[in-house]
Chains A and B, each alone.
Chain A
């Protein structure tokens, strides 16, 4: 069936040799897959390569139809083959084929007509080249290219290349996109530089470029550029010199749009700054502590409170470094409680004592800092200095005490008034009732006498009450500086007769220069009262000696009046000593009004009085004269 005169393509010389059988073996040994078909598409010659490539080993293929060999001969190929028989050749095509391992392989086939020496078409010569590798490579490259584009798109990284020889600058698609230039834009080194923002950015890149060209150094800079459309962008520009065979060829580099990153960075920094500003300027002490209760953040108020100028002086320190040990332990226990239970403690009143002993009251809140993993990392402390509030509270409490004391005094006084007036009116009403019913003239006179006594006594009572009211209502009588020593002199002089009569001795040990802040009339009355009382209640066994002295004690000048009189049983009488109409000794001239008025006068000058006494030995009164107010 084969015609040994037929010759083909490149093999023509070989095939036209003298050895007629040569073609058959020659074709068999060809290093490419080749098959000769007759006009019936039946195999006439076939190379071993074809047999191995297409997996036909062991089968005699000669005389078999191509259709038997390839079930999947596609229509295109069939048409090509038929065209070949009509003299049209050289068409190529692709055919995929799965080998025995099931791997896909790609073949490029070439069909040419098979001519006999008389130029008659006697069949088709098909050459198949295994191009699987090539196809795979092409696909790989395509993939890489796609991947690169994708990456460049996602990361917003473009590339550029500068050819020193031609002075040409190439921008990739992404680089163009970042610059927002149209596709036809032709970049150059100079025009490229102009995109960078004038000033720092342009200078930086210019310098980097210059250095790279001059000294072949690479660079990486974060700069700003302004796009063709006028948008400002932050970019990272990387450039490095390119060498070929050790010879400088130009530059290559990348351009990354990091505007979003920079913007979010700026935003983060701005909110950080805002937070820091707020923390630093709120009038609260704010700090953050780690698990060991060491400070890892402190604000300005906290620095100021602890007397340091820079937060670094406090960082890493614990309460034990800053406060009194006892206070620090309390604080540490609170910290542990908050961190262990992960429960905030809000608005506790605490007192901090710094190492120098200064105590400050705070309203403190401690809030656990819980990390993303749910573990406690430390705590945030917020303390409000309530020292002033506490002080005001204390002042207010003092004021309330003073007011309630005054109120008590007032109620007491009202009762005194009521009692005194009632006892007199009761007597009047009773005596008048008797008088009306009395027949006996002598008894009538007796009753009238008693009415007169009652009337006098009522008048006296009213006078005493008036005096008390005057002391308590004239609280705005001006206090002046008075030499206390001299005042004692005046009182002693006024009482000279009385003192002489009772053989009393006055010892004035008050410093001669001491001035006290008092209402002059009151101090005289006070001195007179105490001196006369001391004489009046003298010990019958001895002559009275009264010693006066004065010392300064805080805001008070303390006037001390000590006698050697009969003394008072304070256990029994302390409550009533300064009461109105209370007397303790059997003396008939005791009216129980003197000490009451004296006490009122001392209190009207915002002073106070203390007494110590021993029955039989004497009494000492201490008058506290308020210097300040």
Chain B
């Protein structure tokens, strides 16, 4: 199995960020973890990495409801990025709104990246299952 080197967590809730980080630590994946308070910050970081030709994240944990740029707005921009590497995006949300599920289908169909959709809370077993290279 391919080694995971970089993980992004995009969520405005510090508790969720803490939780995901802790679970990843328990699982002992040993990757570099970056967290962002909203989509915009994460997008800026990605653009910088692209510009500097740095390695891109293998897995992204993405929240939907965030200020400034929410998860869907982030995806809208993300799918247009010239990324050859297939990245795994795990949408982690507490939303059960059908509108969000529709959006998930929409973006899944539009990109070569792997997009997964999970409801909170997430436990150790689940996080292990979805933290792998796409």
Contact = CB atoms under 8 A, between A and B. Distances in A.
Interface of A: 415, 418-420, 422-423, 425-427, 429-431, 433-434, 450, 453-454, 572, 576, 581-586, 590, 592
Contacts of A426: 16, 94, 120-121
13 contacts: A415-B97, A418-B95, A418-B96, A420-B94, A422-B119, A423-B13, A423-B94, A426-B120, A427-B15, A427-B19, A431-B19, A450-B15, A590-B67
A572 B18 contact: no
Contact of A427 (B16, B22, B67, B96): B16
Contacts of A418: 94-96
Contacts of B18: 450
A453 B13 CA distance: 11
Query: How many residues of B sit at the interface, in one of the four size bands?
Result: 20 to 34
> Secondary structure at chain A's binding surface: helix, strand, loop or mixed?
helix
B55 interface: no
Residue from A425, A433, A585 having most chain B Cβ neighbours under 10 A: A433
Contacts of A586: 67-68
Contact of A434 (B13, B19, B67, B95): B19
Contacts of B47: none
A583 B68 contact: yes
A584 B67 CA distance: 6
B6 interface: no
B67 A422 contact: no
A558 B1 CA distance: 64
B65 A430 contact: no
B123 interface: yes
B73 interface: yes
Given A415-B95, A426-B121, A592 B19 contact: no
A196 B131 CA distance: 121
Contacts of A429: 121
Interface string B113-134: 0000001111100000000000
Contacts of A434: 19, 22
A592 B121 CA distance: 24
Contacts of A431: 15, 19
Nearest to B96: A418
Contacts of A430: 15, 19, 120-122
Nearest to B73: A572
Interface in B66-100: 67-68, 70, 73, 93-97
A430 B67 CA distance: 23
A431 B122 CA distance: 11
Nearest to A454: B15
